[in-house]
Structure 1
Amino acid sequence: MAGALVALSIAPNAIAPHTVTAHADPEPSTKELKSQATKLADQLEQLTEQYNGLKVKLQQSQRAAKVATDNAKRQEKALQGIREKVGSLAATSYMQGGSDPTVSFVASQDPQAVLDQAATLNFFATRDSAKVQGLMQAMQAAQRARKSAEERAKQVSQLRGQLDSQRKKVGQLYEKVRGKLVKKDPSQLGKLPVVGTGKAAQALRFAMTKIGRPYVWGAAGPTTFDCSGLTMWAYKQVGINLPHYTGSQWNAGTHISEGQLQPGDLVFFHSDLHHMGMYVGDGKMLHAPHTGDVVKIAPMAGRPFAGGVRVA
């Protein structure tokens, strides 16, 4: 958490507009845009990893809160029997107009308030009530642990939300700069970092190393590929086995819309799904087109998009 807080204190400066805003005159060069995009991609990777770390911490805090809550419930249940036994004593004390410290201690919904009173503690010390004290203190300890765990979970959740906001801002800036770069020089898209830490992004990184390799029908690497062979080979490098068939890969994950696509997602075309590729970003995909061509990045626009599939 401390590391993430430091990151948050640094991140706003790291993504200040002056670092990515192009000069009105002259326009930034291809080299300058590529440098900006690379730096933003690196920041995005760092924020994403910190976000993932906080996700783990949140799960741990939530589990700790559940364990503490269950423990408090068990202690409360153990005390319930004692409360029932002193019920008659409480009634008698009330009828007599007095308040027995034992009854107050055991029956109180806020036992800490009673335990904090020195007179009550002294009373228990002289009345051999160690068992009752032990149960009450155990329950209090469990309740304090529960509150502490819940507070940690709340803090981590808030921090994760702030970090996610920073991550999205950097991602938007990266997309903006990348768009300018690709508009100026489309060939640069394949040279930019693949943003993302999941297996889909990792698979895309492997696939990008095959740009320029020839299309060969039925081939699945490592030097030649057809469309489904390229995606099958790329995902195999990250431990995911896909069948060498577009129709089967269509059913290998969760169907998503074009607007939900992220780098590494599978994209399919035509009603019979006879062609596919991997989404790169900025409306473009990496694919092995057809005989006589090579693995390359191309626009998705103008193709009959059938849908996307998120494998991982």
Structure 2
Amino acid sequence: MPVAHADPEPSTKELRSKALKLADELEKLTEQYNGMKVKLAQSQRAAKVAADNAERQEKSLRSVREKVSTLAANSYMQGGTDPTVSFVASQNPQSVLDQAATLNYFAKQDSTKVLALMQAMQAAERSRKSAESRATQVKQLRSQLDAQRKKVGETYEKVRGKLVKRDPTQLAKLPVVGTGKAAQALRAAMSKIGRPYVWGAAGPSSFDCSGLTMWAYKQVGINLPHYTGSQWNAGTHVSRSQLQPGDLVFFYSDLHHMGMYVGDDKMLHAPRTGDVVRIAPMAGRPFAGGVRVA
């Protein structure tokens, strides 16, 4: 009976190559997702404009119907059962308006304004339905992209975790995925790895812990106070399991130290006097909580 052999573990080089490819794919999917969000907003605005237009046309038509009702009443008194009566009496005038006989009747009566309004209302209704259909399609595509993006993201995190476990120095070399402001701020902060800790400094060449996060977020247009206690209240609080790259992480009951979450339970921070900006494990310090600024 043949003995089954487990597949050999990928080398560090192979893991890094796979991680970089996944990161690139994730960036592309994220941009496509962001593009779909923009298109969805545009489609929803178009649907609203079309709906508002249809409503305006309906209101205009109702005002004209009041005038036409006189004609209908006279026709009825004379024993007529023309389409005008059907139009005025119907609870669903659109169904009557869609009939060619009605259009022909009003045309023969030279009711130019009514005819134009009927046609405009029909066009507005078609436009509304088309816009709503487009918005629904874009929403479905966005959901599909989001599911695909999350799947690739989970795979990337697993590969990155294996790589970092084997070689912790790789964490600083891998790209920060994402196009949101938190990811952009983290990328900015990562560019300062190796810069010295200086008490009260907030860049660009030296930092203390809250000065580093303040400087990083300032690069993406978000102003944070130069104080850990204030930054603690600068966003939405998240648990350790919910942390995403770029989130602020705080330590100790008095919040006297903080950093930026990088991933794999590690953070980027400016540790202390005599040290430099670097990536370090979060373990070893009492975790107080996380804050999502963007």
Task: State the TM-score, normalized to the length of structure 1.
Answer: 0.86
Give the match for residue 206 of structure 1.
Answer: 188
1:100 equivalent in structure 2 = 82
Is the partner of 1:175 in helix, strand or coil? helix
- Partners of 1:82 and 1:222 in 2: CA distance: 69
Single out whichever of 49-58 and 219-228 deviates more from structure 2: 219-228
Q: Of 111, 123, 127, which aligns to 2:94? A: 111
CA distance in 2, matches of 1:267, 1:221: 19
SS of equivalent to 2:280: strand
Equivalent position of 1:19 in the other structure? none
Q: 2:205 is aligned with what amino acid?
A: T
> Separation in 2 of the partners of 1:99 and 1:51?
57
Contact 1:48 1:197 in 2 (8 A): yes
Structure 2 contact 200–207 (Cα < 8 Å) conserved: yes
Can you give the 5+ residue segments of structure 2 that lack an aligned partner in the other structure?
A: none
Please report how far the alpha carbon of residue 94 of structure 1 lies from its aligned counterpart in structure 2 after TM superposition.
6.7
Match for residue 246 of structure 1?
Answer: 228
| Residues 1:281 and 2:263 aligned together | yes
Distance across 2 between alignment mates of 1:91 and 1:305: 80
Q: Which amino acid aligns with 1:55?
A: K
* Cα-Cα RMSD: 2.2
2:35 to 44, 53, 57: 53
Partner-residue secondary structure (3-state), 1:307: strand
Measure, in 2, the Cα distance between the counterparts of 1:176 and 1:95. Answer: 81
Unaligned runs of 5+ in 1: 1-22
Q: Distance in 2 between matches of 1:241 and 1:89?
A: 68
Aligned to 2:291: 309
2:62 equivalent in structure 1: 80
Alpha-carbon offset, residue 84 of structure 1? 3.5
Q: Which moved more, 1:196-205 or 1:238-247?
A: 238-247
Structure 1 range deviating more: 273-282 or 202-211 = 202-211
Instruction: Give the whole-Å Cα distance in 2 for the aligned partners of 1:81 and 1:212.
Output: 74
Change (3 A) 1:184 1:204: same
CA distance in 2, matches of 1:120, 1:220: 76
1:62-211 aligned within 5 A:
62-87=44-69, 99-105=81-87, 108=90, 109=92, 111=94, 114-117=97-100, 119-211=101-193
Does the 8 Å CA contact 2:72/2:84 hold for their aligned counterparts?
no
Residue 260 in structure 1 maps to residue 223 in structure 2 = no
- SS of the residue aligned with 1:214? coil
1:236 corresponds to which residue?
218
How many residues of Structure 1 are paired with residues of Structure 2 in the alignment? Answer: 289
Q: Which residue of structure 2 lines up, in the alignment, with residue 219 of structure 1?
A: 201
After TM superposition, give the deviation of residue 105 of structure 1 in Å. 4.4
Deviation at 1:90, TM superposition (A): 5.1
Q: Percent identity?
A: 81
After superposition, the C-alpha distances for 1:232-264 in whole angstroms (9 at most, x for unaligned) are: 121222222222211121122222222221111
Q: TM-score, normalised by structure 2?
A: 0.91
1:27 equivalent to 2:9? Answer: yes
Shift of the 46–107 alpha-carbon distance from structure 1 to 2, 3 Å rule, reads farther
Once the 2 structures are TM-superposed, how far is the Cα of residue 81 of structure 1 from its aligned partner? 2.5
Distance, in Å, in 2 between the alignment partners of 1:146 and 1:137 is 14
CA separation of 1:189 and 1:171: change in aligned 2, threshold 3 A: same
The answer (yes or no) to whether the contact 1:106–1:132 under 8 Å persists in 2 is no
* 8 Å contact kept, 1:194–1:263: yes
- Partners of 2:27 and 2:93 lie apart in 1 by 48
Q: 1:301 Cα shift?
A: 2.4
Inter-partner Cα distance in structure 2 for 1:152 and 1:240: 35
**Cα deviation, residue 24, structure 1:** 4.2
